[in-house]
């Protein structure tokens, strides 16, 4: 790793920020999500020709991850589409075949998502499952709901809410695949693992986050991890106003690597299954002068050492990277609870 310097400038204690407390407390929300998603009544996967996942912003990225996870588990077609695209261009995603729509929203009141669901229901396209932290409009529209109030937040940028809903989406995929027993039981280990990662790697997250010599961040993830790479990239953008982009691992060589230099951080959400080719990309970026931060089950800078099946451990990539963005925000003198130009819920009157 390159030599790092600290530029922490905030005059307020870190614990005074909602975002910090929401990141640190999220393993409890994971536990609640496991319990609630395990009990929620759900439809049968075999009743639908395809499953669509939709959301906006963070929850669109969650939809990308959840759709990849769902298809991997059920072997049934699944894809993600932003709520706004489902509303404005439904013909690009919908067919005449029976469709299950999984709508994901922290607030349950985001205009594009709610209106897309309303139209989907009015046209008799299929059934709707809602994954949300609040019992609001979306929950009332849904045929089935996974509600996780423990993931609710006061800050704008999603951290605890995203992670809780991702855990719920994982349980949803397992149950829809009929694999709820052994794999679902194994997920019980995740909250304690999250606590350990937050304790063990908080100093590393702070060291990297507070180094303002870095001016660009790239987040690499493939398969079920690509949506997660998009999400942690968004946290860096929102909280720190830093140039940040997500890519699939092998795609990064096809042009984007031209941006790598000594001021770049390349973060790899490394898989166990594809460790060799993914690590090779990171090694090449290190040779170009980039600082590398790798996360994975083992042989990485942040090592999960979870013993949990790879398809279940996606949530473990989130906490350390959320903390890194939090510390960078504070080092730049920003307020992570209230990112520039953003509000917690986007509600529109012209749709």
**pLDDT tens sequence across 70-108:** 999 999 999 999 999 999 999 999 999 999 999 999 999
Q: What pLDDT does 8 receive?
A: 46
C-alpha distances in Å from residue 58, one per residue of 172, 226, 231, 328: 18, 13, 6, 19
Fold that domain 21-187 belongs to in CATH = Rossmann fold (3.40.50)
CATH code of domain 189-331: 3.40.50.10490
Mean pLDDT of the chain: 94
CA-atom Rg of the chain in angstroms: 19
Predicted TM-score of the model (pTM): 0.94
C-alpha distances in Å from residue 271, one per residue of 157, 261, 319: 26, 24, 17
Q: What pLDDT does 7 receive?
A: 45
How would you classify the pairing of strands 264-269 and 291-296?
parallel
DSSP state of 152: -
Helix, strand or coil for residue 204?
helix
- Contact residues for 346 (Cβ-Cβ < 8 A; gap 6+): 56, 57, 110, 111, 112
Q: Given pLDDT bands bounded at 50, 70 and 90, which one contains residue 114?
A: very high
Any idea where the domains of the chain sit in the sequence?
21-187, 189-331
Q: Is the pLDDT of residue 307 over 50?
A: yes
Tell me the per-residue pLDDT of 152-178, one tens digit each, with 9 for 90 and over: 999 999 999 999 999 999 999 999 999
Tell me the per-residue pLDDT of 64-75, one tens digit each, with 9 for 90 and over: 999 999 999 999
How would you classify the pairing of strands 291-296 and 302-303?
parallel
DSSP string, 78-128: EEEEEHHHHHH-GGGT--SS-EEEEEEESSS--HHHHHHHHHHHHTT-EEE
Calpha distance 334→329 (Å, rounded): 5
Q: Given pLDDT bands bounded at 50, 70 and 90, which one contains residue 2?
A: very low
- Contact residues for 120 (Cβ-Cβ < 8 A; gap 6+): 86, 90, 94, 99, 101, 126, 128
DSSP state of 39: H
| Same fold yes or no, 21-187 and 189-331 | yes
């Amino acid at each position: 790793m390159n030599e790092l310097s600290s530029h922490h400038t905030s005059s307020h204690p870190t614990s005074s920020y909602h975002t910090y407390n929401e990141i640190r407390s999220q393993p409890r929300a994971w536990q609640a999500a496991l319990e609630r998603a395990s009990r929620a009544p759900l439809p049968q996967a075999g009743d639908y020709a395809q499953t669509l996942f939709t959301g906006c912003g963070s929850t669109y990225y969650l939809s990308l991850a959840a759709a990849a996870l769902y298809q991997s588990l059920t072997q049934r077609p699944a894809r993600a589409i932003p709520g706004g695209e489902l509303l404005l261009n439904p013909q690009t995603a919908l067919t005449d075949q029976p469709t299950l729509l999984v709508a994901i929203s922290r607030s349950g009141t985001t205009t594009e998502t709610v209106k897309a669901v309303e139209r989907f229901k009015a046209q008799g396209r299929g059934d709707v499952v809602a994954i949300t932290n609040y019992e609001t409009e979306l929950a009332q529209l849904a045929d089935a709901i996974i509600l996780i109030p423990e993931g609710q937040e006061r800050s704008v940028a999603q951290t605890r809410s995203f992670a809780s809903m991702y855990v719920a989406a994982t349980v949803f995929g397992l149950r829809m695949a009929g694999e709820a027993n052994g794999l679902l039981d194994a997920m019980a280990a995740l909250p304690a693992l999250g606590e350990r990662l937050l304790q063990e790697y908080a100093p590393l997250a702070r060291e990297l986050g507070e180094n303002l010599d870095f001016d660009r961040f790239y987040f690499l993830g493939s398969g079920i991890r690509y949506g997660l790479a998009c999400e942690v990239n968004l946290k860096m953008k929102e909280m720190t106003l830093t140039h940040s982009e997500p890519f699939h691992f092998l795609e990064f060589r096809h042009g984007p690597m031209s941006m790598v230099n000594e001021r770049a951080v390349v973060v790899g959400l490394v898989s166990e299954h594809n460790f060799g080719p993914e690590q090779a990309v990171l090694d090449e970026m290190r040779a170009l002068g980039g600082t590398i931060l790798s996360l994975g089950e083992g042989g990485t800078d942040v090592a999960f050492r979870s013993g949990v099946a790879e398809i279940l451990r996606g949530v473990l990539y989130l906490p350390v990277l959320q903390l890194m963005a939090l510390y960078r925000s504070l080092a730049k003198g920003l307020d992570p609870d209230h990112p520039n130009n953003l509000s917690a819920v986007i509600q529109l009157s012209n749709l």
